[in-house]
Structure 1
Amino acid sequence: MLQSVPFARTLDISFEKVEPGFAVCRMPDRADLHNHVGGPHAGALFTLAESASGAAMLATFGDQLSRATPLAANAAIRYVKLAMGEVVAEARLQASREEVVATLDAGGRPEFDVAVDIKTADGTPVSQMTVAWTLRPNR
């Protein structure tokens, strides 16, 4: 992931667990990533969650990259509590691999969601995000 998405290195995002349909990413507490109240900036939280969603997606559909390009089509985030310190994002694919690949096989452009929960290191929920991904067939 860090080779294919270099921006994640800028935030020191680590990919702790990546498997089909699931990923866990962590972002350290760094002063240069803080907002005006001393916690991780909203943009940094967004990037952490998007990175986790991409890892879960690629772990599931990486074998399809020769015929389709993955693209984030839409994202929505809800900030529920002020985050402080290190944060962890857990991403879960919300679609069946079989259905997504079948749509691609039929010549369609599948779209599917990945839900992400962002928590502090002690497990306190701070944000929720959904990223809608698509696999654009290569021409």
Structure 2
Amino acid sequence: MSADQLSVGELLVAAVPMARTLHLDFVEITPERAVVVLPDQSAFHNHVGGPHTGALFTLGESAGGAIVLSAFGDQLARAVPLAVSAEISYHRLAIGAVTATATLGRPAADVVARLDAGERPEFPVAIEIRRADGALTGEMTAIWTLRPNG
């Protein structure tokens, strides 16, 4: 992991109390992909022994935030990244440590071009949530925006 990747993960853990509370591990952060792990922690289990859906949502949203910061960190002087909406579906029981992998749904250059044109661009981030055995347990789509400053 490069110093820039590490700084995004450290920034998120420092700035987002829920990421810190859940002990999220930001294992890969690039402008193309972010991978975040939620360790297995009984304090955050639900009634069936897996991570609570709120913890899974936070995991996915945090992976989305990591890729957005990595892809658009050079735009922070003129715009603030914000989540606009999110939808999540749960497919299988998530047992043990789970991993969220986020990818941008639009090329970053297209989003920046919209910002350059004076717009407030919105763009999707797709997130897959998987168990350690690779089984897909959930999918999430978060819509993000870059809100121009001022």
What is the match of residue 94 of structure 1? 105
What is the match of residue 49 of structure 1? 60
1:6 CA displacement: 2.8
- 2-structure distance, mates of 1:137, 1:122: 41
Q: Give structure 1 stretches of 5+ with no counterpart.
A: none
Secondary structure of 1:102 counterpart: helix
Question: Which deviations, in whole Å up to 9, do the C-alpha atoms of 1:25-80 show, x marking residues without a partner?
Answer: 00111111000111000000000000001101110001101100110001000000
Query: Which has the larger share of helix?
Result: 2
Is the CA contact 1:21–1:57 (under 8 Å) kept in the aligned structure 2? no
- 2-structure distance, mates of 1:22, 1:5: 20
What is the match of residue 6 of structure 2? none
1:21 CA displacement: 2.5
1:109 CA displacement: 0.2
Question: Which deviations, in whole Å up to 9, do the C-alpha atoms of 1:83-108 show, x marking residues without a partner?
Answer: 11110000001111111011111110
Task: Provide the aligned C-alpha RMSD in A.
Answer: 0.7
- 2-structure distance, mates of 1:19, 1:4: 19
Identity across matched positions, percent: 55
- The normalised TM-score by structure 1 is 0.97
One-letter code of the match for 2:97? E
- 1-structure distance, mates of 2:48, 2:63: 25
Is the CA contact 1:77–1:127 (under 8 Å) kept in the aligned structure 2? yes
- 1-structure distance, mates of 2:142, 2:108: 16
- The normalised TM-score by structure 2 is 0.91
Q: Deviating runs (4+, > 3 A) in structure 1?
A: none
